[in-house]
């Protein structure tokens, strides 16, 4: 395999289409939860079972779960984009600053909402808060502040796995080798059947991250046969594992539309990687893109509580209330992103500057004259 020199990384160039994808994925997951998963614990936030309230739209909303694998694919694309040319410490700091400030802010909001209005979700025990603030609730077995946090633990593990590539050196050959090894390990994990190996390689979800990385390599260096083969393998694994997921069956979903939607996610990133979406230049998409993470963190427990409260105390219809909830949650997410998350992230970046700043060249001490001992430090 020949390896050509890649162009300089375009880390400073924002891709509006990618921001659009982020927001669409977050919105799809929000609609899925607020409509298709609205009967949590016997509490009907709409007053009646959602399939009776929304009718045919319930069937459509049930497919919003596809936003989760789409998020993972986008994450693979973005991590490879941001890690190229970065030292390991800068990579770790950038991921920490991207992941945790919004998490801390939204966790505080969710905890406050569930404490004030525990009719749908109650607040987690105090002992569980520290683990949630550092995404350790799943490995430690403590309750989650919000059930959607399960995906963040997978994201964190992906960041740590990719750190190996950053440590060795982010090159085309190293990234491709990482994807091939990870894909092979995920396939073998199914045969070996060891829980620790499944937890490490994230069998059932790893192929989405791998596909996103491969699409970024196409975006960066052009289409190559080995990359399309890797994407084809990831697509085949995604169809296989999605059909083994009991969630669609529980919601009465057909696997054929699910497979088509998963394929559409691959197609969307293929268009992006081939620069077919470069004409999308609307700058406001950056606002929605940065707000997609807070929207994802806030829509579930906080959204359930808000809808239950409004539907219980007003006569507003379910469809206008759903639209109102999505608009308000998006607005709150934008405010959290711009007024809280970004200032906190800026402070953290300044605090970490001594770690990322190159060490100053130390003045060389004069060599001691013969017969003179060097003072002990």
| Strand segments (E) across 192-324 | none
Question: Using CA of residue 270, residue 1, residue 163, residue 208, what is the dihedral sign?
Answer: positive
Which pLDDT belongs to residue 258? 85
Which pLDDT belongs to residue 362? 40
Which pLDDT belongs to residue 324? 98
Overall average pLDDT of the 56-69 stretch: 92
As a whole-number percent, the residues of the chain with pLDDT over 90 amount to 80
CB neighbour list of residue 163: distance below 8 Å, 6 or more residues apart: 88, 91, 92
Which pLDDT belongs to residue 345? 96
- Cβ-in-10-Å burial (0-12, 13-18, 19+) of 25 comes to buried
- 259 within 8 A of 243, measured Cβ to Cβ: yes
pLDDT surpassing 70 at residue 11: no
3-state secondary structure of 145: coil
- For residue 357, report the phi and psi dihedrals to the nearest 5 degrees: -70, 135
Q: List the single range of 6-15, 54-63, 244-253 with lowest mean pLDDT.
A: 6-15
- Nearest C-alpha neighbor of 33 from the set 138, 126, 151: 151
Overall average pLDDT of the 206-221 stretch: 98
Determine the number of helices (DSSP H) and then strands (DSSP E) in the chain: 19, 0
Confidence class for position 75, pLDDT limits 50, 70, 90: very high
- 238 within 8 A of 263, measured Cβ to Cβ: no
pLDDT surpassing 60 at residue 34: yes
For tokens 């109650």, name the residue. Answer: 122
pLDDT tens figures, 311-363: 999 999 999 999 999 999 999 999 999 999 999 999 999 999 998 776 554 44
Reading the block at residue 352, the tokens are: 């970490």
Overall average pLDDT of the 93-117 stretch: 97
The distance of Cα 332 from the centroid of its chain, to the nearest Å, equals 19
Overall average pLDDT of the 242-266 stretch: 78
Count CB neighbours of 142 within 10 A.
17
- Nearest C-alpha neighbor of 176 from the set 218, 131, 139: 218
CA Rg, the chain, in Å? 23
- Nearest C-alpha neighbor of 77 from the set 11, 7, 145: 11
Torsion on CA atoms 300, 301, 303, 304, rounded to nearest 10: 110
Confidence class for position 40, pLDDT limits 50, 70, 90: low
Compute the 3-state secondary structure of the chain and give helix, strand, coil in percent, each to the nearest 5. 70, 0, 30
Confidence class for position 365, pLDDT limits 50, 70, 90: very low
Which pLDDT belongs to residue 245? 64
- 257 within 8 A of 63, measured Cβ to Cβ: yes
pLDDT tens figures, 288-301: 999 999 999 999 99
Mean model confidence pLDDT for the chain: 89
Q: List the single range of 24-33, 242-251, 301-310 with lowest mean pLDDT.
A: 242-251
pLDDT tens figures, 155-183: 999 999 999 999 999 999 999 999 999 99
The span from the CA of 115 to the CA of 86, in Å, is: 42
pLDDT surpassing 70 at residue 248: no
- 109 within 8 A of 146, measured Cβ to Cβ: no
pLDDT surpassing 60 at residue 9: no
Which pLDDT belongs to residue 246? 64
pLDDT surpassing 70 at residue 211: yes
Q: What is the residue-wise DSSP string for 332-361?
A: HHHHIIIIIIHHHHHHHHHHTHHHHSPPPP
């Amino acid at each position: 395999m020949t390896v050509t020199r890649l162009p300089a990384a375009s880390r400073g160039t924002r891709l509006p289409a990618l921001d659009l994808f982020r927001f669409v994925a977050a919105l799809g997951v929000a609609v899925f939860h607020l409509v298709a998963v609205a009967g949590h614990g016997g509490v009907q936030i709409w007053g009646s079972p959602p399939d009776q309230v929304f009718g045919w739209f319930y069937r459509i909303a049930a497919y919003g779960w596809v936003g989760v694998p789409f998020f993972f694919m986008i994450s693979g694309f973005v991590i490879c984009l941001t890690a190229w040319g970065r030292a390991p410490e800068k990579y770790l700091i950038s991921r920490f600053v991207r992941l945790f400030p919004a998490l801390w802010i939204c966790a505080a909001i969710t905890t406050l909402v569930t404490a004030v209005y525990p009719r749908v979700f109650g607040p987690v025990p105090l002992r569980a808060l520290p683990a949630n603030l550092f995404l350790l609730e799943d490995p430690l077995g403590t309750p989650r502040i919000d059930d959607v946090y399960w995906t963040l633990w997978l994201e964190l593990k992906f960041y740590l796995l990719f750190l190996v590539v950053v440590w060795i050196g982010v090159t085309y050959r190293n990234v491709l080798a990482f994807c091939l090894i990870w894909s092979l390990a995920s396939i073998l994990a199914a045969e070996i059947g060891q829980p620790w190996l499944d937890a490490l390689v994230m069998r059932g979800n790893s192929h989405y991250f791998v596909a996103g990385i491969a699409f970024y390599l196409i975006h960066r260096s052009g289409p190559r046969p080995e990359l399309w083969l890797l994407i084809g393998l990831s697509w085949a694994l995604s169809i296989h594992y999605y059909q083994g997921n009991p969630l669609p069956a529980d919601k009465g979903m057909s696997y054929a539309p699910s497979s088509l939607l998963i394929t559409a996610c691959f197609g969307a990133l293929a268009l992006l990687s081939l620069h077919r979406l470069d004409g999308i230049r609307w700058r406001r998409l950056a606002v929605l893109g940065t707000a997609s993470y807070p929207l994802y963190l806030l829509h579930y427990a906080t959204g359930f509580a808000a809808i239950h409260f409004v539907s219980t105390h007003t006569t507003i219809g379910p469809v206008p209330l759903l639209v109102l909830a999505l608009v308000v949650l998006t607005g709150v997410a934008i405010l959290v992103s711009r007024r809280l998350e970004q200032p906190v992230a800026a402070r953290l970046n300044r605090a970490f500057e001594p770690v990322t700043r190159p060490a100053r060249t130390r003045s060389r001490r004069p060599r001691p004259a013969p017969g003179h001992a060097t003072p002990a430090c």
